[in-house]
Amino acid sequence: MTLDFVGNLRRTHDCGELRKQNAGQSVLLMGWLDRSRDHGSLIFLELRDRGGLTQVVFNRDRNAAVHARAAELSREFVVAVRGTVLERTPENVNPKLPTGEIEVAAEELFVLNDAKTPPFTIDDETALTAEETRLRFRYLDLRRPRMQRNIALRHKLALAVRQYMNAQGFYEIETPFMTRSTPEGARDYLVPSRVNQGSFYALPQSPQIFKQILMISGFDKYFQIVRCFRDEDFRADRQAEFTQIDVEMSFPQRETIYGVMEGLVTKLVHEAGYAEPHRPFPHFSYDDVMRRYGIDKPDLRLPAMATVNDCFAAGDLDKLKFSAEHALLAFRVPKCGDLSRKEREELQAFATERNARALVDIRIGAEGPEGSLAKSYPDAVKNIVEATGAESGDLIALCGAPAGAAVKRHDYSTHVAAGAVRLHAGQKYSAKHGLLNPEDFRFLWVTDFPMYEWNEEEKRWDAMHHPFTSPHEQDMDKLESDPGAVRALAYDMVLNGTELGSGSIRIHRQDVQARIFRSLGMTDEEARQRFGFFLDALQYGTPPHGGIALGFDRIVMLLAQETSLRDVIPFPKTARAVDLMTDAPTPVSETQLRDLGIGLRKTEKK
RNA sequence: GGGGACGUAGUUCAGUUGGUUAGAACGCUGCCCUGUCACGGCAGAGGCCGCGGGUUCGAGUCCCGUCGUCCCCGCCA
């Protein structure tokens, strides 16, 4: 097919904006041919661009030459159409399209480009193609309305972040991508230096040190929508490169930061078109969430767990083969009283796989609790029903450690196993009853994380958050004597079972920072070698400061009601960190390597 | 690093106990059609059953390995 030049053609509208008020106007649309319906002497084309779809009609009686050309087009051809907007007769209105009350009667047709038949249909109705194909042909996948909508939402939210943070007095300040290895826990992506052979830049896992330096520099309130890089294994909610809303401020209390961030995410929920969440967000200590939910990022849409050891008489737990030395947790599985014996046993097996013991037996019928436990231990079950707040139609699961399990101090393992059963039951069964409504945004703060966690492999204490996190002022005297009991001024923002971000009040005194480094098993020499510049900076009048970083991709994902980060990132990588469109990463030429002073080790194939 | 699922036409899938020529729908090609809107009708083309090996008279189907995608554990403040 011969193609037309663009010439002086100018688009007058996009394909989503014409309404019956435009009837009679002469318009020029440009876009992709979405689908066509050819009736012989009458042809309907749907023209698509970012704005939407508009139906264009070609009538042989009116313009035979233009009609004949339209019959030659196929999917994804890029065309320009000049025509007149016609109001459709009532029986011809298409209520599914925003532009369904009009159509454009074509008078001129310009074929700007042809197109190969795409490997999959560009729409949201056809069964979704394997993700591998979608990623290989990402430019086509991104044309789909759903992806267009997701990327548009991402833009809208990024804009809202900038407007809000600006209104709150924050400056957006950039920090380098090529920097030095940072103290965070993940592996770094490295960039070799040509000018300084044998040395490497590290891509930032976060701009942590730079934003603290900016506070020392007196910028007071900083934010940045910034790319971060971590070379770890990926998941549906983890990518090699991801975007954070990074925030730091001087002279804050923790509550100052909570307030700013609650205002921000509330605005984002609103921008995405949902009902605003309740404020202030509830606060739970780390100990609270671990005991009540068995996880540090609880989904509040599902009921909490209750500790019910006291509901049973002495000796009962032994008979039920539960350890009386460990917590016995009970939780209700809403509206799942009708689960089959097989389904309930599946939940019990799920607990067994996690070295826990579950009894999923109590069902609340119209007359009260049913099941063998309710018959054998009526008083205990009555108390459990009360403790869990179970209602008619619910199922109650009991989860604890099996009799004879070893007892450890500071150990949430029973809670964690029970929490996993709670979540599994909720996702597998309660979700059917609408309990995990994706438009119900239940934010919370998790506070008072332990400062340290014991690293069994290295036999030392590691910083749970990062080594710049300030301990509680009243726990300072335990830094050396009882590190496990020191609480950090750290906090996570959690939404519906997803960790949106974490932050802390930082250490602003050089003497405290040195103590923390020592408590982490770092000698003064090592600390000086790795963070000398930062320790120096701390000595020149560092204000108290603190901040947080939120995962922007995760926020967009939840607000777009997607379940994979890949659906809100234009060009994501696979689980093996490969970009299927560009095939990155690739080997490089010997010349490039020589310039960098790099030789590759021979990898041994087994 | 470990566990699991999947891999058959361009796409989404079916494929019986291992048995003749591997099917369907959508898409694609050609013809017909003046009110469709996931248009319709008729005809047609299209397959390295991911790849390699093995078992077998015979493998899409069974076994081993390998590659790829996805999910989970570990890991990731």
Mind listing the pLDDT tens digit for each residue in A88-138? 999 999 999 999 999 999 999 999 999 999 999 999 988 889 999 999 999
Residue nearest B6 (alpha carbon to C1'): A130
For A213, the enclosing helix (H) or strand (E) is: helix A208-216
Residue A56 CA: distances (Å) to CA of A64, A108, A479: 15, 11, 73
Please list the alpha-helical segments (H only) found in A243-377: 254-271, 286-293, 316-319, 341-353, 372-376
Query: Of all nucleotides in the shown strands, which has a C1' nearest the CA of A208?
Result: B77
pLDDT tens digits, one per residue of A307-352: 999 999 989 999 999 999 999 999 999 999 988 888 888 889 889 8
Q: Give the per-residue pLDDT at A605.
A: 40
Query: A43: which nucleotide lies closest, measuring CA to C1'?
Result: B36
Q: How confident is the model at residue A206 (pLDDT cuts 50, 70, 90)?
A: very high
Q: How far is the CA of A127 from the C1' of B49 (A)?
A: 21
Q: Cβ distance A247 to A165 under 8 Å? A: yes
Closest by CA position to A318, among listed A401, A422, A243: A401
Mean pLDDT of A126-152: 94
Q: What does the CA dihedral A551, A552, A553, A554 come to, rounded to 10 degrees? A: 50
Q: Is residue A19 a contact partner of residue A102, using CB atoms and an 8 Å limit?
A: yes
Is pLDDT of A242 > 60? yes
**In the predicted model, is pLDDT for residue A173 greater than 70?**
yes
Q: Give the whole-angstrom CA distance, residue A515 versus residue A452.
A: 13
Distance between CA atoms of residues A118 and A49, nearest Å: 16
A183 falls in which pLDDT band (50, 70, 90)?
Answer: low
Query: What's the pLDDT score for residue A262?
Result: 97
User: Cα torsion at A193, A194, A195, A199 (round to 10°)?
Assistant: 30
Nucleotide nearest to A100 (CA to C1'): B37
Distance, Å, A402 CA → B7 C1': 41
Nucleotide nearest to A206 (CA to C1'): B77
Distance from CA(A116) to C1'(B29), angstroms, rounded: 14
pLDDT higher than threshold 60 for residue A521:
yes
CA distance A256 to A443: 17
The span from the CA of A209 to the CA of A241, in Å, is 19
Q: In what order do the strands lie in the sheet with A241-250?
A: A171-172, A221-229, A241-250, A545-551, A498-505, A490-495, A443-447, A283-285
Q: Identify which has the larger pLDDT, A411 or A205.
A: A205
The CATH homologous superfamily of the domain defined by A148-276+502-591: Bira Bifunctional Protein; Domain 2 (3.30.930.10)
More confident of the two residues A424 and A407: A424
Q: What is the pLDDT of residue A606?
A: 35
Give the distance, in angstroms, between residue A123 CA and nucleotide B34 C1'. Answer: 27
Amino acid code (one letter) for A86: L
- The nt closest to A185 (CA vs C1′) is B77
Distance A350 CA to B4 C1' (A): 15
Q: What is the mean pLDDT of residues A238-265?
A: 97
* Domain spans, chain A: 20-113, 148-276+502-591, 302-433
Show the DSSP H helices in A125-187 as ranges. 131-136, 138-141, 145-167
Q: What is the mean pLDDT of chain A?
A: 93
Q: What is the mean pLDDT of residues A389-416?
A: 87
Residue that the structure tokens 């200590």 belong to:
A285
Give distance CA A137 / C1' B68 (Å).
16
* Whether pLDDT at A409 is above 70: no
What's the CATH superfamily of A302-433? GAD-like domain (3.30.1360.30)
| pTM for this predicted structure | 0.94
Report whether pLDDT(A435) > 90.
no
Measure, in angstroms, how far nucleotide B28 C1' is from residue A117 CA: 8
Amino acid A184: pLDDT: 65
> Which whole number is the average pLDDT over A45-49?
97
Query: What's the pLDDT score for residue A292?
Result: 95
pLDDT of residue A427: 86
* CB atoms near residue A145 (< 10 Å): 16
**pLDDT score for A526:** 87
Å between CA of A603 and C1' of B52: 22
Spell out where A171-237 has E strands.
Answer: 171-172, 190-192, 200-202, 221-229
Q: Which nucleotide has the least CA–C1' distance to A236? A: B71
pLDDT band at A300 (very low <50, low <70, confident <90, very high): very high
Least confident residue range of A49-58, A233-242, A452-461:
A452-461
At residue A410, does pLDDT exceed 70?
Answer: no
Question: What pLDDT is attached to residue A169?
Answer: 98
Strand B positions with any atom < 7 Å from protein CB?
A: 1, 10-13, 26-29, 32-40, 68-77
Third-level CATH fold of A20-113: OB fold (Dihydrolipoamide Acetyltransferase, E2P) (2.40.50)
Nucleotide with the nearest C1' to A132 CA? B69
Cα distance between residue A589 and residue A342, in whole Å: 59
Q: Can you read off the two tokens belonging to residue A25?
A: 């106007």
List the A132 CA – B57 C1' distance (angstroms): 40
The proportion of chain A whose per-residue pLDDT surpasses 70, expressed as a percent, equals: 99
